[in-house]
């Protein structure tokens, strides 16, 4: 596993960004530490989380993932070796992208992460109730103060991202350099097209989330099979003829290479223009090993999945 430059930043990151959404949800603290230890042992250094992870779990309030990651880094004394990405806008007590909320939410995240800087800070979603100038000025303040190194935009449309870049340049503010869209072999329309064209033209690093379609592309789902999983209720959009055809193609290719289906699904993403590194999470070390696998897909294998 190698480290590569992340777009126009000076960050050197692992080719798999480890998703932290499961920490404090389907993986408890001990299980999370085991996954984090195994990821670091494999050379991994890039972790994605958010202030609202995992508020959807009964008994949680949000911030559980950041807290676990912070405890892990503190216990290992490895903060300087880890590239941490987190987000603002979706925590129910810190909603939106007003200047006051961004500054306050960043302080909350810094405290939970037990650090004095965030490597990559995302707007978790666009907030059209706040002027872009206000939002971008607040992010710039964090960068200027050294509390944030680089900025990212998650779930932005091409027109709004274009507008944000234009405003940042006109006002001399820190720009978004990383983009995080919902993109995988099944869900393609949120990235492919105008947003992809913009990211490639601007040299923005793209880190897709839901890279494995919430686990659907791992191979554990099949027609008529009931899966005991915290994510199984969200599969309705995938369990159709097209979804099963994509799964079948990935399964065939994985069998030909003797690798996991997760590996093939992630390699298909890496083959798409603009992609810097996919984001994928693992609840167990076994799952982590599957998403860390690498294989070289032929152009025809990539095209087979793309054609569906």
Q: What is the pLDDT of residue 237?
A: 82
Q: How far is CA 6 from CA 17, 30, 44, 149, 222, in A?
A: 11, 30, 14, 13, 36
Judge whether 265 and 220 are in contact, CB under 8 Å.
no
Does 71 score more than 90 pLDDT? yes
Judge whether 279 and 209 are in contact, CB under 8 Å.
yes
Per CATH, which fold does 3-215+272-294 belong to? TIM Barrel (3.20.20)
| Residues 77-102: tens digit of each pLDDT | 999 999 999 999 999 999 999 999 99
The token duo for 110 is: 């810094």
Strands 83-88 and 90-91: unpaired
Judge whether 159 and 188 are in contact, CB under 8 Å.
no
Biggest CA-to-CA distance, the chain = 56
pLDDT band at 2 (very low <50, low <70, confident <90, very high): confident
For 96-119, what is the mean pLDDT? 98
pLDDT band at 224 (very low <50, low <70, confident <90, very high): low
Q: Is 53 a catalytic residue?
A: yes
Q: What is the pLDDT of residue 279?
A: 98
E strands of the chain, at which residues? 3-5, 12-14, 17-19, 46-48, 83-88, 90-91, 94-95, 118-123, 148-154, 176-180, 205-206, 279-281
Q: What is the pLDDT of residue 228?
A: 59
Q: What is the pLDDT of residue 64?
A: 98
| Residues 6-29: tens digit of each pLDDT | 999 999 999 999 999 999 999 999
Q: What is the pLDDT of residue 222?
A: 82
| Residues 134-191: tens digit of each pLDDT | 999 999 999 999 999 999 999 999 999 999 999 999 999 999 999 999 999 999 999 9
| Residues 36-57: tens digit of each pLDDT | 999 999 999 999 999 999 999 9
Judge whether 168 and 160 are in contact, CB under 8 Å.
no
Which of 249-262 are b and which e, b meaning 16 or more Cβ less than 10 Å from the residue's Cβ? bbeebbeebebbbb
| Residues 233-257: tens digit of each pLDDT | 567 789 899 999 999 999 999 999 9
CB-based contacts of 113, cutoff 8 Å, min separation 6? 66, 69, 70, 73, 84, 86
Q: Which of 53, 121, 122, 209 is catalytic?
A: 53
The token duo for 23 is: 């920490």
The token duo for 204 is: 């923005």
140 φ, ψ to 5°?
-60, -40
Judge whether 293 and 263 are in contact, CB under 8 Å.
yes
pTM of the model: 0.95
């Amino acid at each position: 596993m190698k480290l590569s430059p992340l777009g126009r930043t000076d960050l050197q990151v692992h080719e798999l960004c480890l998703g932290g959404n499961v920490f404090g949800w389907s993986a408890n603290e001990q299980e999370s530490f085991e996954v984090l230890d195994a990821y670091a042992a494999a050379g991994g250094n890039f972790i994605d989380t958010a202030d609202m992870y995992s508020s959807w779990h009964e008994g949680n309030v949000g911030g559980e993932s950041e807290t676990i990651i912070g405890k892990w880094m503190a216990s290992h004394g490895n903060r300087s070796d880890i590239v941490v990405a987190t987000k603002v806008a979706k925590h129910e007590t810190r909603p939106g992208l007003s200047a006051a909320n961004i500054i306050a939410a960043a302080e909350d995240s810094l405290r939970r992460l037990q650090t004095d800087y965030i490597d990559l800070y995302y707007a978790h979603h666009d907030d059209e109730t706040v002027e872009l100038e206000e939002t971008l000025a607040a992010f710039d303040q964090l960068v200027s103060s050294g509390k944030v190194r680089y900025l990212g935009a998650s779930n932005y449309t091409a027109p709004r991202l274009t507008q944000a870049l234009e405003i940042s340049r006109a006002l001399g503010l820190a720009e978004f350099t990383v983009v995080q869209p919902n993109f995988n072999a099944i869900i393609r329309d949120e990235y492919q097209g105008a947003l992809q064209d913009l990211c490639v033209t601007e040299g923005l690093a793209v880190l897709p989330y839901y890279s494995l379609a919430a686990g659907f592309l791992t191979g554990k789902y099949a027609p008529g099979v009931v899966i005991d999983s915290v994510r199984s209720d969200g599969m309705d959009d995938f369990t159709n003829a097209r979804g099963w055809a994509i799964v079948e193609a990935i399964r065939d290719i994985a069998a030909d290479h003797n690798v996991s289906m997760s590996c093939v699904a992630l390699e298909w993403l890496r083959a798409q223009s603009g992609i810097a590194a996919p984001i994928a999470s693992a609840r167990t070390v076994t799952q982590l090993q599957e998403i860390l696998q690498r294989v070289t897909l032929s152009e025809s294998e990539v095209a087979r999945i793309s054609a569906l």
